[in-house]
Amino acid sequence: MTENIGNFEILNDSLISIEWDKDNIGYLLLRDIRNACPCATCKAAEKGFKKKIQLKNKECYELISIDRVGTYALKFKWADGHETGIYSFESLKKLSNWKE
């Protein structure tokens, strides 16, 4: 299913909001977003294949920017330089407090 979102906003140093539709706004913790990073490097580190990767430092949870990826996803840039994870709207809805 293809869906589009409205506005999204960095609310503070630990929270963003996403407007799923006109009347529904979801809130997501930056820590939850980063911990759920779907990129290959993070998934490999999560499974223990790359034990040398240090993901859990202060900078890894500091958000620099958010960009749209087409009409299906968002891409987050973190203070530690990480920006390869592309989060589908569907995956972000699962992380948010939004319920259908």
pTM confidence score: 0.82
Q: How confident is the model at residue 2 (pLDDT cuts 50, 70, 90)?
A: very low
* pLDDT score for 24: 84
Architecture of domain 8-95: 2-Layer Sandwich (3.30)
Domain locations along the chain:
8-95
- The 10s digit of each residue's pLDDT in 29-40 is 999 999 999 998
pLDDT exceeds cutoff 50 at 71: yes
- The 10s digit of each residue's pLDDT in 50-59 is 555 555 678 8
Location of structure tokens 């749209």? 68
Q: Which two tokens stand for residue 21?
A: 């539709």
**Which residue, 6, 34, 33, 31, is CA-closest to 20?**
6
* pLDDT score for 1: 42
How far from 95 is each of 34, 49, 51, CA to CA, in Å?
A: 11, 25, 26
